[in-house]
A and B are shown apart, each in its own frame.
Chain A
Amino acid sequence: MAKIQHVCQVVSNEKFCPKFYRLCFAAEPIRRKVRPGQFVHIRAGEGLEPFLRRPFSVSRLPAGGHGAKKHVEILYEAVGPGTRILASKKKGDVLDVLGPLGTPFRMPPQGIKQVVMIAGGIGAAPFFMLSDALKGKGYNLILLYGGRSRGHVFNMREFKRQGCKVYTATDDGSVGVRGRVSVLFDKIKTAPAATFLYACGPRPMIASVQVFARRHNIGGQVSCEETMACGLGACLGCSVLTASGYKTVCCDGPVFDIDEVEIPLP
C-alpha cells in the first residue's frame, strides 16, 4: 500500500571501523529520490522481535559501475537487538525498507562561505551524503568529529577527498584532541553571517551546538532523534517540542533549524 515500501537485497555489510558497520542495499527508487538528511525505516527481524522498525540516516550513495546506480548505504553501530540483527545480514539477504522518509537538510543560504558539519559518533552518517552534495561549490567545508574512543573513529579519507578539513576529538584522547566534540568549536572561524552549521549526534552534543550557535548568532540545522513507530507521521509518537508546538521527527524532521527545536535533556 505504501509506495515507499521496498523489499531490498543486501549488497554488502562490512565493518567500517571497529564499532561501525556500513550496509549497502539495492533500492533504485530510494536512491533516485533521497536527499541528504533523510532516513530509511528498516524492519530488522522477520518475526515479532524486535517489534518496531529501526530508523537509519541514508549515509551515502556509492559511486561506481554496474549495479551501483541502485545502491544505498547506511552506517550503523550495533547497540541493541535490532542493530545486532542488521550486523548479521549477508549479501543476498532481503530487507524490508521504508524510505526515503523525513525532511532533508536545506542547502546553505546565499552568502555562506564556511560550512561546518558537527558529528558525534554514528551521527556522522548523513554527512557523507551531505558533503558530497556540498563539494565543489566553493564552500570552506569543515567536519568536526567527536567519538567515544579509538574504536569509534573511522578513516576520514572520504571527507578529505571532498575537500573537507577534518578535526577529531575522542572522549579518552586516544585519537585527536581529548574531550567532547565541543572542544573543537574553536576551529570555527566565527564570521556568523558567512557560516552555516549542520549537526547530528547525541542530544547533549546537539544542545552544545545550540548554545554555541546562539552565542555567536550562527545559523544552521540539526538532525534530531526520537523513538519511532511508524516513521510516516501517523502515530505522533516521535514528537519533539519546537518553537511552534510539537512536531514529528519522522515527518517534519529529523532535520530542524537550530533555533526551532528544544532538546530534551535527562
Chain B
Amino acid sequence: MNLTVKIGKAEFANPVTVASGTFGCAQRYYNLDEIKGLGAITLKTVTLHARQGNPPPRIVETPSGMVNAIGIENPGADGFIEQKLPSLREIGVPLIISILGHTDKEFEILTEKFNALEGIHALELNLSCPNLGKKTLVAQDPKSTSRVVKLVKKASRLPVIAKLSPNVTDISVIARAAQDAGADAVSLVNTFAALVIDVKRKRPVLGNSSGGLSGPAIRPIAVYMVDRAAQAVSIPIIAMGGIMTAEDALQFILAGASMVAVGTANFINPRAPLEILAGIKKYMKENKLHDIQEIVGSVRA
C-alpha cells in the first residue's frame, strides 16, 4: 500500500499531518513512538519578532466548533529556533514550518533563517497577515498572494506551501495565483472570521473581539472550497477544516486533497491524527486501493 505524498522535493510517508497551531508539548504528553507515525508535523506560525498574543479570553466554544483569537503568540524566529526546534527535530517526523511576515522583507528574512537549518522539510506561508496599505489580508488578494509566494520561492531552498484563507469570494482565484507564482502546494482552509457576543455584558466574548471559527462546524464549507481549488490548480492540496474522523479526511481526499491536516480535533481527541491514518488505511484495504493517489480528486472522475 503506497501512502507517500510528494510536495516539491519533499516526501512524506503518509498524508496525515497536524494543522498549524493545534499541536504542541509533544515531549511532555505524547508517546513519541506513536507520533512517529504521522506524515508530518506542521508547527504553530512563527513571526520574525516574538508576539505576546491577544488578551484573554482567547477561545470560546460554539456549536460543533470553537472560535479562537490567539494572536499568533510565539517566541519569534530566533526564540523558536533556539527553544523549540531542537526537541522537535528529535521526534524524527518531517517538519513543516509555518511563517508569517508583516512585510515582504520579514517574509524574506524568515525564509533565509529557515533555509540555513537542517531537519526542516517545507515552509508553509500563513498568508492571513495584514496586506500593507490595504484593509484586506494578503490571502484575500490574488496579486499580493502572488507577490509574497514569488519572493519566498525565490529565496527558499525548501518547498513552499501557500496557506489560504476561506474569507474570500472565490478561493480558486487565490489558489491559481499561488500556483502561478510557483507555490509547490496550497493548504486550505484557515479559520473563518467569526464573532460571538455575550448578551449579558453586551460585549464580544473574546478579548480580541472577533476570531476564527474551526472544527466540524466548518467542514462542509471547507470540503466545498477544496473541491473548487482542486479544479483550479494541479499542485498538491493540503486540506483541513473540521476533520475529526477518517471519513471526514476521505471527503477531502476525494475532493482533491493529497494531504490532510488535523486541527481542532487534537483538542478533543489527542489520538485523532493516528486514528484517522488507521482509518484511511482500512478504507484503502476495503476498496482494494494500492496507492492513495488513485482516489485524490476522484469525486469528479
Q: How far is the CB of A5 from chain B (nearest CB, A)?
A: 6
Nearest residue (CB) in A for B215 is A51
In chain A between 1 and 23, which residues have their CB closer than 8 angstroms to a CB of chain B? 1-5
A53 is an interface residue with CB less than 8 A from chain B: yes
Residues of chain A with a CB closer than 8 A to B31's CB: 1-3
What is the interface residue range for chain B against chain A? 35 or more
Residues of chain B with a CB closer than 8 A to A232's CB: 24-25, 28-29, 270
Known: A49-B64, A230-B267. A236 touches B58 (CB 8 A): yes
Against A, the Cβ 8 Å flags (1 = close, 0 = not) of B50-78 are 00110111111111111010100100000
A48 is an interface residue with CB less than 8 A from chain B: yes
Main secondary structure of the interface of A (DSSP, over half): loop
Of B56, B63, B268, the residue contacting A240 (CB under 8 A) is B56
- Contact of A236 with B73 in the complex, beta carbons under 8 Å: yes
Q: How far is the CB of A3 from chain B (nearest CB, A)?
A: 5
Known: A51-B64, A237-B59. A2 touches B70 (CB 8 A): no
Known: A1-B35, A5-B271, A237-B70. A48 touches B25 (CB 8 A): no
Of B29, B57, B63, B271, the residue contacting A227 (CB under 8 A) is B57
A43 is an interface residue with CB less than 8 A from chain B: yes
Of B29, B63, B73, the residue contacting A51 (CB under 8 A) is B63
B21 is an interface residue with CB less than 8 A from chain A: yes
- Contact of A53 with B267 in the complex, beta carbons under 8 Å: yes
Q: Measured between alpha carbons, how far is A164 from B95 in the docked complex, in Å?
A: 53
Known: A234-B267, A235-B68, A236-B73. A229 touches B29 (CB 8 A): no
B135 is an interface residue with CB less than 8 A from chain A: no
Known: A234-B267, A235-B68. A246 touches B25 (CB 8 A): no
- Contact of A235 with B70 in the complex, beta carbons under 8 Å: yes
- Contact of A52 with B64 in the complex, beta carbons under 8 Å: no
In chain B between 88 and 140, which residues have their CB closer than 8 angstroms to a CB of chain A? none
- Contact of B56 with A2 in the complex, beta carbons under 8 Å: no
- Contact of A246 with B30 in the complex, beta carbons under 8 Å: no
Residues of chain A with a CB closer than 8 A to B23's CB: 234
A206 is an interface residue with CB less than 8 A from chain B: no
B2 is an interface residue with CB less than 8 A from chain A: no
- Contact of A1 with B34 in the complex, beta carbons under 8 Å: yes
- Contact of A226 with B57 in the complex, beta carbons under 8 Å: yes
Q: Measured between alpha carbons, how far is A54 from B60 in the docked complex, in Å?
A: 13
In chain A between 114 and 129, which residues have their CB closer than 8 angstroms to a CB of chain B? none
B201 is an interface residue with CB less than 8 A from chain A: yes
Residues of chain A with a CB closer than 8 A to B59's CB: 227-229, 235, 237-238
Known: A233-B25, A266-B201. A246 touches B267 (CB 8 A): no
- Contact of A239 with B270 in the complex, beta carbons under 8 Å: no
- Contact of B29 with A237 in the complex, beta carbons under 8 Å: no
Interface centre among A2, A50, A226, A240 (most CB of B within 10 A): A2
B266 is an interface residue with CB less than 8 A from chain A: yes
Q: Measured between alpha carbons, how far is A235 from B266 in the docked complex, in Å?
A: 10
Residues of chain B with a CB closer than 8 A to A266's CB: 201
Residues of chain B with a CB closer than 8 A to A233's CB: 24-25, 28
Q: How far is the CB of A7 from chain B (nearest CB, A)?
A: 11
Q: How far is the CB of A130 from chain B (nearest CB, A)?
A: 23
- Contact of B29 with A2 in the complex, beta carbons under 8 Å: yes
Residues of chain B with a CB closer than 8 A to A51's CB: 61-66, 215, 268
Nearest residue (CB) in B for A82 is B61
Q: Measured between alpha carbons, how far is A227 from B56 in the docked complex, in Å?
A: 9
Q: Supply 15 further A-B pairs (C-beta < 8 A) apart from A229-B68, A236-B44.
A: A1-B274, A2-B29, A2-B270, A4-B29, A5-B270, A50-B61, A52-B268, A232-B28, A232-B29, A235-B22, A235-B68, A235-B70, A239-B73, A251-B28, A264-B56
Q: List 10 A-B contacts (CB under 8 A).
A: A1-B270, A1-B274, A5-B271, A48-B63, A51-B66, A227-B60, A233-B25, A235-B59, A236-B21, A237-B58
Q: Which residues of A contact B (CB under 8 A)?
A: 1-5, 43, 48-53, 96, 98, 226-241, 245-246, 251, 264, 266
